[in-house]
């Protein structure tokens, strides 16, 4: 029911090159705020040891003297023991410094999210390109596999897998592997749909006539056209992966102490929310701000890549411009129709909407 | 219609079969001994051999899977040390850790998820469609901007963060509600609703955002069409045009997405249940995962897959029923 016009499908591609997209991204206040927040987050993750050193603390040493043994180990002082030495207070029962744990935790949270996203992109690209450029049988087979992967209750699978794999396996790596192994299908679907559209273009036909091999066509002719939808989609799945990591660690199945991640911090914090609300709010709000920043970035990227939405949506009563009707997001074994609608639906999907994590 | 149904059912069955195979392979044919896991710590060698025989893990994988499938359709008897237990028709296995048939365990938990899904769906539809209609009825740059920001914020909030904040806000700071403690509807409907209010809200608040978007976009798209122009030309009041006629444009998508979302919550709202201590499928999944109770984990994964497949099929049917342009 949808026409096959997405931003890439109409040949707009990167919309005036990286510089053009960047300037359009920066021109909007929301886009600028998102870029700055995400940049700060990356900077914090990269400089975590120095930040902790600046505070003069490390994430793993205990400080018993700062705790009140009468209350079962809640921090002394207001707001979870915030002081000049401990900028965000200390952890109940152990007295570990929360600022240090938070900045070190950003490495795990961001690292797992980025790693999982890269894995999903790689797998999705490979499967999608193979299905889109391959013959009828390859396409049929790979599309069925993709449909199946989309129908999996991924969250339950990851819970179960985390439970089965021995504790000795490094958890952040395992989380990255599980998330990418279970989450590539929607990317594959988008890549396949876009590839099917792109390969009918004249310039691809021209490349075929020059005798270019499939691999070269994929790399030189198709990939550039995939940049726009993939960049936008990356900004959507990255926070999803971040939330997934946080959630699994929150359930006690992901990262475990002494390693910290925001989800792990929230997990230990839930037993303390009556006594020490600061301890809950710090990782919760950090996670929220980061997910929001990525969501904003995704939204801004979508607008920046789409010249049609370049003007802010203005309308008078009853007359509407620039509100693209979102196609129904259909995870699950739908008919495998050459759906640009998966792509269209994906770019209008909120981070948590893939569901399951409710 | 019939052909479509048949095709969908066949497709769903194929997906479920593949899902069962995948689940089975992942959890039973893994390195590591499921018999050891099922038997628990302090398991003696003869006990282990007995469990291994009972589970059938002393047989080849393909044969094991076949047994697993026949067990599912025809039932199977499990020996639990001294006595033998008959596990009837849709038998998903036997949990040696809690000495119960998995199917029964899942059935015991299902009412919680049904309560959770129905209440939450009612709330999120009310909130989402309501705000979506409001946004479509009263356009304006600032109002749009504020709505968009609120929607993006709520929709991006991880549900466990939302649950935590609600719990802290309502139960600790404002103290307007006691800590939720699930009461079955058959015992006391008022208590049931009161205790589920926060869980419903947690799910509804993060889900409503998507429905606001869908409703607003659907209504605005329909407002651009010719029949609306005709109605305007006849001088119909705008409010009536939106509420009577333009809503129809949003309806199919909203209903479709709602059906799929309800399926997801039915399959187990892991975080909401864990956070509010509701004894549903999601909580059971986490508990059995942390005690590595494989038959239960496997059973829940399969049930969740089945519920999602069914929900998707129902969604497609509803979509086709509401939107005649969709051919099935």
Q: What would the mean pLDDT of A162-187 be, rounded to a whole number?
A: 86
Q: What would the mean pLDDT of A273-296 be, rounded to a whole number?
A: 85
B175-194: per-residue pLDDT in tens? Answer: 777 777 787 877 878 888 88
Lowest mean pLDDT among A39-48, B84-93, B249-258: B84-93
Residue B217's alpha-carbon distances to A320, A326, B34, in angstroms, are 10, 7, 51
Q: Output the six-digit token pair for A80.
A: 């979870």
For chain B, what are the domain ranges?
A: 30-101, 103-322
Kindly provide the ipTM of the predicted complex, given to two decimals.
Answer: 0.81
Share of chain A above pLDDT 90, in %: 6
Share of chain B above pLDDT 70, in %: 88
Look at residue B123 in the predicted model and tell me its pLDDT: 93
Confidence category of residue B266, pLDDT binned at 50, 70, 90: confident
Look at residue B237 in the predicted model and tell me its pLDDT: 86
* B305 has pLDDT over 70: yes
Q: Which of B316, B312, B314, B284 is nearest to B300 (CA)?
A: B284
Q: Which of A353, A116, A284 is nearest to B163 (CA)?
A: A284
Query: A33 with A41: CB under 8 angstroms?
Result: no
Q: At what angle do helices A98-133 and A277-305 cross, to 10 degrees?
A: 30
**Higher pLDDT residue, A14 or A1?**
A14
Residue A167 near chain B (CB below 8 Å)? no
Q: Using the 8-state DSSP alphabet, how is residue A64 labeled?
A: G
* Mean confidence (pLDDT) of chain A: 75
Task: Flag if A352 and B214 touch (Cβ within 8 Å).
Answer: no
B87 φ, ψ to 5°?
-110, 115
Closest by Cβ to B214, choosing from A153, A273, A326: A326
Closest by Cβ to A156, choosing from B224, B260, B304: B304
Q: Is A17 left (phi over 0), alpha (psi -120 to 50) or beta?
A: left
Residue A29 near chain B (CB below 8 Å)? no
* B41 has pLDDT over 50: yes
CA distance A129 to A111: 26
Q: Taking the model in full, what pTM does it have?
A: 0.80
**Higher pLDDT residue, A87 or B14?**
B14
Q: Among B161, B230, B309, pick the best mutation site for testing chain A contact (most A Cβ within 10 A).
A: B161
* A9 has pLDDT over 60: no
* B49 has pLDDT over 80: no
Write the CB contacts of A19 (distance below 8 Å, at least 6 apart in sequence): none
Query: B219 with B242: CB under 8 angstroms?
Result: yes
Q: What would the mean pLDDT of B218-238 be, rounded to a whole number?
A: 86
Closest by Cβ to B261, choosing from A324, A350, A355: A355
Q: What would the mean pLDDT of A263-271 be, rounded to a whole number?
A: 84
Task: Flag if A353 and B210 touch (Cβ within 8 Å).
Answer: yes
Which chain B residues contact residue A329 at CB under 8 A?
257
Q: What would the mean pLDDT of A242-268 be, rounded to a whole number?
A: 85
Q: What would the mean pLDDT of A8-14 be, rounded to a whole number?
A: 42
Closest by Cβ to A151, choosing from B161, B285, B305: B305
B203-227: per-residue pLDDT in tens? Answer: 999 888 889 888 888 888 888 888 8
Task: Flag if A159 and B286 touch (Cβ within 8 Å).
Answer: yes
Q: Output the six-digit token pair for B17.
A: 């079969």
Q: Which of A16, A17, A8 is nearest to A342 (CA)?
A: A8
Look at residue A320 in the predicted model and tell me its pLDDT: 40
Residue A301 near chain B (CB below 8 Å)? no
Most confident of A16-25, A81-90, A93-102, B269-278: B269-278
* Mean confidence (pLDDT) of chain B: 81
**Higher pLDDT residue, B81 or B213?**
B213
B103-322 adopts what CATH topology?
MetI-like fold (1.10.3720)
Task: Flag if A159 and B270 touch (Cβ within 8 Å).
Answer: yes
Taking each continuous run of H as one helix and of E as one strand, the counts in chain A are 14, 2
Task: Flag if A251 and B286 touch (Cβ within 8 Å).
Answer: yes
Count how many residues are written for chain A: 358
Task: Flag if A163 and B289 touch (Cβ within 8 Å).
Answer: yes
B124-153: per-residue pLDDT in tens? Answer: 999 999 888 888 877 777 777 787 788 888
Confidence category of residue A147, pLDDT binned at 50, 70, 90: confident
Lowest mean pLDDT among A40-54, A157-171, B86-100, B254-268: B86-100
Q: Which of A165, A222, A217, A166 is nearest to A190 (CA)?
A: A222
Which chain A residues contact residue B141 at CB under 8 A?
312, 314
**β-strands B94-95, B100-101: how paired?**
antiparallel
Task: Flag if B15 and A151 touch (Cβ within 8 Å).
Answer: yes
Q: What would the mean pLDDT of B88-101 be, rounded to a whole number?
A: 74
Lowest mean pLDDT among A349-358, B62-71, B198-207, B290-299: A349-358
Q: What would the mean pLDDT of B156-161 be, rounded to a whole number?
A: 87
Look at residue B264 in the predicted model and tell me its pLDDT: 85
Closest by Cβ to B290, choosing from A252, A319, A353: A252
Chain A, residues 258-287, CB within 8 A of chain B, namely 266, 270, 273-274, 277, 280, 284, 287
Q: Output the six-digit token pair for A198.
A: 């792109």
Residue A108's alpha-carbon distances to A48, A159, A242, A245, B106, in angstroms, are 11, 18, 10, 9, 35
Q: What would the mean pLDDT of B241-263 be, rounded to a whole number?
A: 85
Look at residue B8 in the predicted model and tell me its pLDDT: 76
B279-295: per-residue pLDDT in tens? Answer: 888 889 888 888 777 78
CB-based burial label for B42 (10 Å; 0-12, 13-18, 19+): exposed
Look at residue A347 in the predicted model and tell me its pLDDT: 39
Residue A168 near chain B (CB below 8 Å)? no
Chain B residue with minimum CA distance to A319 = B224
């Amino acid at each position: 029911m949808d026409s096959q016009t997405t931003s890439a499908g109409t040949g707009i591609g990167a919309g005036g090159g990286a510089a053009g997209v960047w300037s359009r991204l920066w021109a909007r206040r929301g886009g600028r705020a998102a870029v700055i927040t995400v940049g700060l987050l990356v900077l914090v993750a990269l400089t975590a040891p120095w930040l902790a050193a600046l505070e003069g603390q490390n994430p793993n040493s205990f400080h018993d003297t700062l705790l009140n043994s009468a209350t079962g180990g809640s921090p002394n002082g207001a707001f979870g023991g915030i002081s000049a030495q401990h900028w965000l207070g200390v952890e109940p029962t152990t007295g570990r410094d929360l600022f240090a744990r938070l900045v070190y935790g950003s490495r795990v949270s961001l690292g797992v999210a980025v790693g999982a996203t890269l894995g999903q992109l790689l797998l999705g690209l490979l499967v999608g390109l193979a299905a889109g450029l391959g013959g009828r049988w390859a396409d049929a087979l790979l599309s069925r596999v993709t449909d199946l992967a989309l129908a999996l209750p991924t969250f339950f699978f990851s819970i179960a897998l985390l439970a089965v794999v021995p504790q000795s396996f490094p958890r952040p790596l395992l989380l990255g592997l599980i998330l990418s192994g279970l989450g590539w299908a929607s990317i594959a679907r988008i890549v396949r749909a876009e590839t099917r559209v792109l390969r009918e273009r004249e310039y691809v036909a021209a490349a075929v006539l020059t005798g270019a091999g499939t691999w070269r066509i994929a790399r030189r002719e198709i990939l550039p056209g995939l940049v726009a939808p993939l960049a936008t989609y990356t900004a959507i799945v990255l926070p999803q992966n971040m939330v997934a990591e946080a959630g699994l660690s929150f359930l006690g199945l992901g990262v475990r102490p002494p390693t910290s991640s925001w989800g792990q911090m929230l997990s230990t914090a839930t037993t303390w929310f009556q006594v020490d609300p600061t301890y809950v709010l710090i990782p919760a709000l950090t996670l929220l701000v980061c997910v929001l920043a990525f969501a904003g970035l995704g939204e801004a990227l979508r607008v920046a890549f789409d010249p049609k939405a370049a003007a802010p949506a203005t309308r008078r009563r009853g007359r509407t411009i620039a509100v693209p009707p979102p196609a129904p997001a259909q995870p699950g074994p739908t008919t495998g129709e050459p759906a640009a609608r998966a792509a269209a639906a994906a770019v209008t999907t909120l981070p948590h909407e893939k569901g399951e994590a409710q | 219609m019939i052909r479509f149904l048949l095709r969908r059912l066949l497709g769903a069955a194929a997906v479920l079969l593949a899902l069962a195979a995948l689940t089975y392979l992942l959890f039973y044919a893994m390195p590591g001994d499921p018999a050891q896991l099922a038997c628990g710590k302090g398991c003696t060698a003869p006990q282990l051999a007995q469990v291994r025989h009972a589970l059938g893990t002393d047989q080849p994988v393909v044969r094991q899977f076949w047994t697993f499938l026949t067990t599912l359709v025809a039932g199977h008897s499990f020996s639990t040390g001294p006595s033998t237990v008959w596990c009837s028709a849709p038998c998903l296995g036997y949990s040696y850790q809690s000495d119960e048939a998995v199917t029964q365990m899942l059935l015991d938990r299902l009412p919680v998820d049904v309560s959770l899904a129905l209440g939450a769906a009612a709330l999120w539809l009310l909130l989402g469609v309501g705000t979506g209609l409001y946004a479509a009825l009263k356009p304006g740059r600032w109002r749009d901007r504020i709505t968009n920001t609120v929607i993006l914020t709520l929709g991006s909030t991880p549900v466990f963060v939302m649950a935590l904040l609600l719990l802290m806000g309502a139960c600790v700071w404002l103290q307007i509600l006691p800590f939720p403690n699930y009461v079955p509807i058959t015992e006391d409907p008022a208590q049931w609703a009161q205790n589920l209010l926060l869980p419903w809200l947690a799910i509804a608040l993060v889900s409503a955002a998507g429905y606001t978007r869908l409703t607003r976009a659907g209504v605005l798209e329909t407002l651009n069409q010719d029949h609306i122009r005709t109605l305007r030309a006849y001088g119909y009041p705008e409010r009536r045009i939106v509420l009577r006629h333009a809503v129809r444009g949003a309806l199919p998508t909203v209903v479709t997405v709602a059906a799929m979302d309800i399926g997801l919550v039915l399959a187990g709202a892991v975080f909401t249940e864990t956070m509010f201590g509701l004894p549903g499928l999601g909580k059971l999944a986490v508990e059995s995962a942390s005690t590595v109770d494989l038959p239960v984990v496997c059973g829940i994964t399969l049930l969740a897959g089945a519920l999602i497949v069914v929900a998707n099929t129902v969604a497609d049917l509803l979509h086709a029923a509401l939107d005649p342009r969709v051919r099935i």
